[in-house]
Structures are given as C-alpha cells and as structure tokens.
Amino acid sequence: MSRPLILVTNDDGVNSKGISALIEIAQTFGDVFAVAPNGPQSGKSHAISLEKPIGVSLLLKSDTLTKFSCTGTPVDCVKLALNKLMDKKPDIILSGINHGSNSSINVIYSGTMGAAIEGFMDGIPSIGFSLLDYNEDADFSACKHYLGKIIDMALNMEDALCLNVNIPKLASSQIKGFKFCRQADSNWQEEFVPVDEINDFDFYWMKGSFVNQDYEQDTDEWALDNGYISIVPIEFDFTEYKALENLKNIEL
Amino acid sequence: MSRPLILVTNDDGVNSKGISALIEIAQTFGDVFAVAPNGPQSGKSHAISLEKPIGVSLLLKSDTLTKFSCTGTPVDCVKLALNKLMDKKPDIILSGINHGSNSSINVIYSGTMGAAIEGFMDGIPSIGFSLLDYNEDADFSACKHYLGKIIDMALNMEDALCLNVNIPKLASSQIKGFKFCRQADSNWQEEFVPVDEINDFDFYWMKGSFVNQDYEQDTDEWALDNGYISIVPIEFDFTEYKALENLKNIEL
C-alpha cells in the first residue's frame, strides 16, 4: 500500500495547538493535506456557508504536507478539500484535536465532529479527536501514543467508520486505555448574561452548564470520568426507528 | 387543558412568508410565542453562537401572539426562548415552514431541524415543517389543512417526539396523504465556482446537486416523489449501535 493520504481539519482554527499536534501524529502515518478554518469555529455543528462565498489561502506546500486556511466552517473545509482542492480522495479524515470535550450531547454542537461526519457521509473513514482541556495552550503530548493506535485501527478496518474520540485530561501514565461506548444522555442548561443594548436589540452572552443524567458504564461520560479514552462510533441517519414502528399504526 | 403555548421559529428569518403561514396555523391551536432569526440562517444546522453575544428585539406583543427577532442561529433562538424569554415551557415547538426541502440527508444541514431537535432535547414535542419550494414567495395555502392534522397529533401524543415533515410542491387536492418514513440515504455533490480573489484568499460560491441513492418505498424521498407528505421521527443519539457491537471485540 502506498503512503496514505490524510485530510486534517478542526474547528479551533488552522493556528491552534491542537491541529499542530494532530498534523504531527498524522505525518507518522502518511502525507497530510490540511484545510482548516482561519479562526475559531467552535459550536458550528454541521453548518455550511450558503449565504456567502468561501475563501481559501495556501499557507504551506511540501512533498508531505500541504496546508490551507479557509474562511468557512469546518464542514465547508471538508467539502472544499474533497471537491476542489485535493487531486485524490483521502484515505482517512482526522479532525481536531479539539480544545475541550465533544463527548455525549456535545457531538451535536461540535464543528470538529461536523467535519468528521461530513467526510464519513462520502464513505471516508473519519475520526474526531477532542482533549478535555479547554486551555488554548493545552498539553497534547499525552495523546500521541493513544491517538496513533486509533488511527492505525481505522486505517486498517474493512468498513469505513466515523469515530468520536475524547481523551481525559490526564498524564499519559494515568490513562487506563480505551473504551468503546455509546453517547451518554446529557444536555446543557443555559443562562443568558446581559451585555449591551444596541438600537432595539438587547444583547446577551450565552453561558451553559453541562448536565449529565446518565452514569451507565457503557457511556462515554463514564469512560472519561474513570480515566479511559472514549470512542463512540457515529452515524448520520437521524431516523428514530423505534418511534417509527409505533407511528406506522396511526391513521392520520 | 388550557390553551397550548406554542413556540414558533424558523431559519429563513422572522419576516419570511413560511413563518407567517406557520404562525397563522399555530394560532388556531393556541397562544404563539415566536422567536426567529432577523435574517436568513439556512444551512446553520445545530450551530450556536459561542464567539459573540446574541441580540433580541421585541417586534409585537398581544394576548395571543408575541414575536421576537433574534441575531443568532435557529438553535440560539430556541435556547434564548426557553431559558430567558418565556415564562413557562411551551407545549410544543414548531419550526418553519422552510422554503425548500429538509428531507433525507438535508436534515443534518438544516437550521429548521436544528431548532426542532434542540427543543426535543429538552423533552418538548417538536416539529420541523418544510415545503419543497425554494421560492421566497412560495404558496403555503395547500399546507394548512395537513399541517393542522400533524400538530393535533403531536399535541395529543403521550411521549414527546421530534418530527421532520416535508410537503411536496403540489396543490392541496393532489396531495395523497401522509407517510411515516425513514430518512433516505442521499448526499450532495458540490461544485465550487470561483468569484473573487482578495489578498491571498481565493473565494468560491459553493453550489451543490442533490443525489438520492435510495428509492425504497419506506423512505421520505419515495413518499415525496409519489405525492405524499413525509414524516420522519428524529433522534439525537448519534451512536452507531451496530458498529459498536463489532468494535467491542477489538483489542486496542
């Protein structure tokens, strides 16, 4: 097999420490093609730019690493990479390493995971990585060994998968290993803090507190709380099949 | 039961024809509290505003109808309504009527459905409505009778559901009825059309063509192609359980 081609992206921006760490890990596996936002795009979920054009600028090009900055969302970056910038389909897409958790319900808000899911929708194995440390100067060194193992697994699987990988904020020696999990049932409770009044608009900062209601041992939250790296396989079929079975009996 | 309290939102903006039609239908069922974006927010998926404050302005207040304009995304609108603007929890959330399809894979990009899913995450019955007509002057009159039936059903169900409802672009007399369906397996093929070069950035408009690969009779695409209104029940657990079962056998 020739050297794999790896598309790397994220939602914290092309200059974040997390994507630099991920590119470094990815380069031990193959040639890296990075297309990432030119600024923070956290919380952008699966958003795409329909109302404005998307800009892209080449930052760096060598035999083994190409790097673009993009004005769009993380999903825009993946679409642009796959449909315009890359000469051939990547063997895998890696998104992150996110500065902060994308476990449980966070997956739905996450730009990191939006990008990974977009790649998977095109049949490409995709992994989103997140470290449970929101600091922009977070220490990603503990990740390297473990992330390499997951990338190696995903590259060698028969069927493409999309994986949501979260890493506890622990020293490498304290990490107990991996757990394959389901998404815990959790949500956010928001508070709106008034900041300004401009014309007829009252402006608020949205602040949230994460609330987990699900402490079962098969969840990602349990794994992370207990020193494991959580790996949740992700799908993009939103159909609630159990409800569908019941609805079929209804006469409307 | 007292008159239901109905939260209405959308992604095309508070002044779109689709939300006016939905408010009119909703008012036949209960008191309406509308919080919707101050401009187009199509394709915003489940995005939230983490990098900037959210502005909100009261447009109208009567005994039976309150209406706010909001600078945030559709999901921001729902969070702001539930956590700041409303005195009590709504009995149901209605999102739309979207100008254009949110069937099959479109659900993942849709701001209309992002808003509906956000409400459902709080345990509130939620419905996203979309008409397969992208025209901003689309004719929503055929919808009224059918949408009323769905709202009535959702208000009277024991368990909260989130429904993705799409309506074919047909005269009322040509609509054959409803089908409860699963999301068809489809995707978009993008093309990037160059428009400009500013500083070091090349700018492109993203244009897409919808590709359906799934013509089974239990899909939303089949229902719509055959003159039915499609109703897909939606979940927010992204775990791919089948893959999870297989992964559990892997030693990492």
Residue-by-residue pLDDT tens, chain A, 252 positions:
689 999 999 999 999 999 999 999 999 999 999 999 999 999 999 999 999 999 999 999 999 999 999 999 999 999 999 999 999 999 999 999 999 999 999 999 999 999 999 999 999 999 999 999 988 889 998 888 899 999 999 999 999 999 999 999 999 999 999 999 999 999 999 999 999 999 999 999 999 999 999 999 999 999 999 999 999 999 999 999 999 999 988 988
- Chain A CB contacts of B48 under 8 Å are 43, 45, 109, 206
Q: Using an 8 Å Cβ cutoff, are A229 and A221 in contact?
A: no
Tell if the CB–CB gap between B203 and A55 is shorter than 8 Å: yes
Cα A142-A146-A147 angle, rounded to 5 deg: 100
What pairing do the DSSP bridges indicate for beta strands B31-37 and A201-212?
unpaired
Identify the pLDDT of residue B93. Answer: 98
Distance CA B129, CA A52 (A): 25
Distance in Å, alpha carbon of A222 to nearest chain B alpha carbon: 15
- Chain B CB contacts of A74 under 8 Å are none
| Chain A / chain B CB contacts < 8 angstroms | 235
Domains and CATH numbers, chain A: 5-185+215-247 (3.40.1210.10)
DSSP string, A19-59: HHHHHHHHHTTSEEEEEEESS--TT-TT---SSS-EEEEEE
CA atoms lying within 13 Å on the CB side of residue B129: 27
Residue in chain A lying closest to B55 (CA): A203
- Chain A CB contacts of B100 under 8 Å are none
- Chain A CB contacts of B43 under 8 Å are 47-51
Identify the pLDDT of residue B1. Answer: 61
Q: Which of B109, B191, B192 sits opposite A46 (nearest CB)?
A: B109
Backbone angles phi, psi at A11, to 5 degrees: -120, -5
Strand partners, A95: A9, A128
Q: How many CB atoms lie within 10 A of CB B84?
A: 18
State if pTM tops 0.90. Answer: yes
Distance CA A21, CA A188 (A): 29
Interface of B with A in 103-122 (CB under 8 A): 105, 107-109, 114, 117, 121-122
Q: Using an 8 Å Cβ cutoff, are B16 and A25 in contact?
A: no
Q: How many CB atoms lie within 10 A of CB A158?
A: 5
A33-60 b/e (C-beta count within 10 Å ≥ 16 → b): bbbbbbebbbbbbbbbbeeebbbbbeee
Distance in Å, alpha carbon of B105 to nearest chain A alpha carbon: 8
- Interface membership of B196 toward A (CB under 8 Å): yes
Condensed to tens digits (0 to 9), the pLDDT of residues B51-99 reads 999 999 999 999 999 999 999 999 999 999 999 999 999 999 999 999 9
- Chain A CB contacts of B211 under 8 Å are none
DSSP string, A97-138: EEES---GGGGGT-HHHHHHHHHHHTT--EEEEEES---TT-
Interface of B with A in 133-162 (CB under 8 A): 149-150, 153, 159, 161-162
Residue ranges, chain B, pLDDT below 50? none
Identify the pLDDT of residue B55. Answer: 98
Instruction: Please state the ipTM of this predicted complex.
Output: 0.96
Tell if the CB–CB gap between B195 and A53 is shorter than 8 Å: yes
Q: How many CB atoms lie within 10 A of CB A234?
A: 21
Distance CA B96, CA A57 (A): 36
Q: Which of A189, A204, A236 sits opposite B108 (nearest CB)?
A: A236
